[in-house]
């Protein structure tokens, strides 16, 4: 798969983020508590190694060293799950799994989009999927950002988001795992959705084949295969501040 094919850091047999991606030599996983969003992301199920990303219409996304794995999570056949939508999907799936239905809330301009109000006590998977489509169709990148809070780079955690609210389209990627060495240097893994709507994917690091798919935590530019972020773009869902 691109330049990272055969990487010693990727285990073909691994079924989750934790199992598939080894920490580089000298690094160990940062600690995350069992029932947190960070642990949910670290244990995301992945499609078999070598799988291609599927677009909403069933077509495949060529892999020119853009991604190294595909998250095993079906998407709607509507063109609605783009980049920020994919992040909303992940946090919603986590909260739904934890049965924290009252915390599944987003905003579209000044409108509150609450799952509990939408569900009317029907918390079935079918109703939840309907809610996700409703939210993805209504929430824009600016309103998505209204539910986030800036984070200092030194305080980065698994589950944090790099997001740019630019016109006509912004973009967001999410930290799904992180490792650290004895000196306190950190590396992290990123996942994204993109346009048109497509499955969530674990990104390659095309700038550092020696550590790909891991990214080095350092101030300045964060160059991903399809977007240029700044590390000052780091954000976190407000209600996860103490997660």
pLDDT tens for each residue of the chain, 243 residues long: 333 445 778 999 999 999 999 999 999 999 999 999 999 999 999 999 999 999 999 999 999 899 999 999 999 999 999 999 999 999 999 999 999 999 999 998 889 999 999 999 999 999 999 999 999 999 988 888 889 999 999 999 999 999 998 766 789 999 999 999 999 999 999 999 999 999 999 999 999 999 999 999 999 999 999 999 999 999 999 877 554
Per-residue pLDDT at 35: 92
Cα separation values, 139 from 134, 176, 183, 229, Å:
9, 22, 41, 21
Per DSSP, the three-state class of 4 is helix
Range of the domain at 96: 1-243
Per-residue pLDDT at 2: 36
Number of separate domains in the chain:
1
Give the length of the chain.
Answer: 243
Per-residue pLDDT at 241: 56
Task: Give the pairing of strands 53-54 and 60-61.
Answer: antiparallel
Q: What is the pTM of this model?
A: 0.94
The counts of H helices and E strands in the chain are 6, 15
Per-residue pLDDT at 8: 76
Per DSSP, the three-state class of 22 is coil
Per-residue pLDDT at 3: 35
As beta bridge partners, residue 233 has: none
185 secondary structure, DSSP code: -
Cα separation values, 62 from 53, 71, 198, Å:
8, 16, 12
């Amino acid at each position: 798969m691109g330049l990272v094919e055969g990487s010693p850091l990727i285990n073909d047999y691994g079924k989750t983020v934790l199992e598939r991606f080894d920490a580089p030599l000298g690094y160990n996983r940062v600690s995350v508590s069992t029932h947190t969003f960070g642990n949910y992301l670290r244990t995301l199920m992945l499609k078999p190694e070598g799988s291609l990303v599927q677009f909403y219409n069933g077509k495949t996304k060529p892999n020119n060293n853009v991604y190294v794995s595909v998250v095993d999570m079906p998407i709607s056949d509507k063109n609605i799950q783009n980049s920020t939508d994919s992040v909303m999907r992940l946090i919603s799936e986590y909260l739904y799994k934890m049965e924290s239905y009252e915390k599944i809330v987003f905003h579209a301009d000044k409108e509150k989009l609450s799952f509990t109000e939408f569900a009317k006590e029907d918390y079935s998977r079918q109703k939840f999927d309907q809610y996700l489509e409703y939210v993805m169709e209504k929430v824009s990148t600016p309103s998505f950002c209204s539910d986030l809070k800036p984070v200092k780079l030194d305080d980065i955690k698994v589950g944090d988001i790099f997001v740019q609210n630019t016109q006509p389209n912004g973009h967001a990627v999410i930290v799904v795992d992180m490792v650290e060495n004895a000196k306190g240097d950190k590396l992290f893994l990123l996942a994204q959705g993109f346009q048109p709507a497509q499955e969530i994917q674990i990104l390659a690091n095309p700038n550092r084949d020696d550590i790909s798919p891991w990214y080095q935590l350092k101030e300045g530019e964060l160059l991903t295969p399809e977007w240029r972020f700044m590390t000052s773009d780091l954000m976190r869902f407000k209600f996860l501040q103490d997660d």
